[in-house]
Amino acid sequence: MIGLISATAAGAAARDRLAAAWPDRTRVYEGPVGDAVRAAFAQCEQLVCFLATGAVVRLVAPLLSGKTADPGVVCVDEGGRFAVSLVGGHAGGANELAREVGELLGAEPVVTTATDAVGLPGLDTLGLPVEGDVAGVSRALLDGEAVALRAEVAWPLPPLPVAAEGSYTIRLTDRLVEAAEREVVLRPPSLVVGVGASKGAPVEEVLGLVEGALREAGLSAASVAELATVDAKAGEPGLVEAARRLGVPLVTYSAGELAGVDVPNPSDAPLAAVGTPSVAEAAALVRGGELLVPKRKSAARPAMATCAVVRRPGRGRLAVVGLGPGARDLLTPRAKAELRRASVLVGLDQYVDQIRDLLRPGTRILESGLGAEEERARTAVEEARRGRAVALIGSGDAGVYAMASPALAEASDDIDVVGVPGVTAALAAGAILGAPLGHDHVSISLSDLHTPWEVIERRVRAAAEADIVVTFYNPRSRGRDWQLPKALDILAEHRAPATPVGVVRNASRPDESARLTTLAALDPATVDMMTVVTVGNTATREIAGRMVTPRGYRWQEEPE
């Protein structure tokens, strides 16, 4: 919950805009600002104060107890020009809140945490338990000193400017180790503990078994991602409470799923009780991984609990990101977030240049030239399979004549794939022309490098006969100069010579150009690969210099 506090009419107006935008996330505190700040500080995870920075500092200073406990506090000035992360930039989420508030109110976010200010992810904000010299290693990263990454398990970390060797170390491990001097230990959630229990098994017996198994195997409880068991034990109090105390979910599987898992230590007892020859080992192994601790029983007599421990490899993450048509303000916030999250970026060199300034320090860039789409797709998938966070970029929308299709053709279910939509060339051109896509429309690429011309021609003819607005991608190049005239001739068989045609080159870029012509007057020689050509249907009209396709066929031109 975000507490909102204001003292003036201008502050209240901005406060109310946030409250209206985030009705489920915010609570407005009225009354004297001192009382309001103190109440919100005690009751909310975050605060946005529409007050002078000095006033907020004096009000919250006596309330501060520590970075891990204090709420995040953002201060917005009277003019609504700046959203300042004042307290709890990392742990309290104030840095991200300042960005969100700034985006909503049109204010400039100001983050004061050193790592965020220079684009580095904070080691204590990666979503992983962290131990050791966080301040010292963070300072070394900021100062450009050599910091080594020792990754004992593969995990998709965000970009970090690390080296093979260094006097400081970031250690990624699920082993039970203590951080050395000048070292930070990150704990990935790589361990799954399978548990079985008799009815009424005490939570102390379950916890003692699990913690003992981890300790004897030299594994950290901070890396346990979940407890897993059979569906029949989903409500077993001892297991439910053990999961709660460990701070992990209790995940269950059907007996049929577990019975199909090959395990080293099957038993007749669970088969008779719940319908599977293994609970602990099978529940730990059902999603794959390496069995580190085979089934073991608790020391109680009779033993009422069993457990097994598996290390699941970190799943790599592939984000297929559409960059839009080129203008920075048409790059979506989600795309920006994925670019900053990725430790590996794969893309066409000219697209990499568009967004290079958005990448965090330490991002590894794998760029190549035109004509290497399949190679880039394979590279991105291979990097994700190594457990890395990868962004594969393309122009427009990555799923439209771009990189999503070849990438997903290469990817299997061993990696996580996220699609990030972008503004397509057709949409960008349509907005410049007016509203040519107001009714049914289709996009057709005239490039026959991947599609036989016979197939392309059949599609153009179908669109012509169906009276659908057509946007041509890849309309003409130096080596392909006859396809566009042929496609226009096919459309002309079904549409009048005066049918409006919009021609937009480099939509949304600094050298953008656009013109409105007709089907009869369009000169194909004026079109190149940077151009999008949109041909209207029989209802499309030029109105006040704009290309408009009405939403229905009821509207008709007045008879001459």
**Which has the closest alpha carbon to 389: 438, 335, 317?**
317
Return all residues near 200 (Cβ < 8 A) that are at least 6 apart: 237, 238, 304
Which residues are within 8 A (CB) of 66 and not within 5 positions of it... i.e. 6 or more apart? none
Q: Do domains 317-423 and 426-548 have the same CATH topology?
A: no
Residue 4 main-chain phi, psi, to 5 deg: -115, 125
User: Which stretch of DSSP H or E encloses residue 416?
Assistant: strand 416-420
User: Can you tell me which residue has the tokens 């799954």?
Assistant: 192
Q: Region 297-310: what's the mean pLDDT?
A: 93
Query: Under 8 Å CB-to-CB from 467, ≥6 apart: which residues?
Result: 494, 495, 537, 538, 539
**Pair 73, 60: CB distance under 8 Å:** yes
Beta strands in 111-215 (DSSP E): 130-132, 147-151, 168-172, 183-186, 191-197
CATH fold for the domain made of 2-112:
Rossmann fold (3.40.50)
The rounded distance, in Å, linking the Cα atoms of 471 and 507 is 14
According to DSSP, the β-strands at 224-230 and 250-253 are: parallel
Over residues 483-538, the pLDDT tens digits come to 999 999 999 999 999 999 999 999 999 999 999 999 999 999 999 999 999 999 99
For residue 78, the model assigns a pLDDT of 81
What is the residue type of 252? Answer: T
| Tokens coding 508 | 């949304």
Question: For the chain, which residues make up each domain, given as ranges?
Answer: 2-112, 123-186, 191-311, 317-423, 426-548
Q: Global pTM?
A: 0.76
* Among 42, 82, 75, CA closest to 58: 75
* Class in CATH terms, 191-311: alpha beta
pLDDT at 299 over 60: yes
Q: Can you give the pLDDT at residue 555?
A: 52
Token output for 156:
């998709």
Give the pLDDT band of residue 186 (cuts 50, 70, 90). very high
Architecture category of domain 426-548 in CATH: 2-Layer Sandwich (3.30)
pLDDT at 171: 94
Instruction: Give backbone dihedrals phi and psi of 166, rounded to 5 degrees, phi first.
Output: -175, 160
For 54-101, the pLDDT digits (tens) are 889 999 999 988 877 889 999 998 888 899 998 887 778 888 899 889
Tell me what percent of the residues of the chain surpass a pLDDT of 90: 71
Sign of CA dihedral 108, 114, 117, 123: negative
Residue 221: pLDDT above 70? yes
pLDDT for the residue 556: 53
Class of domain 317-423: alpha beta
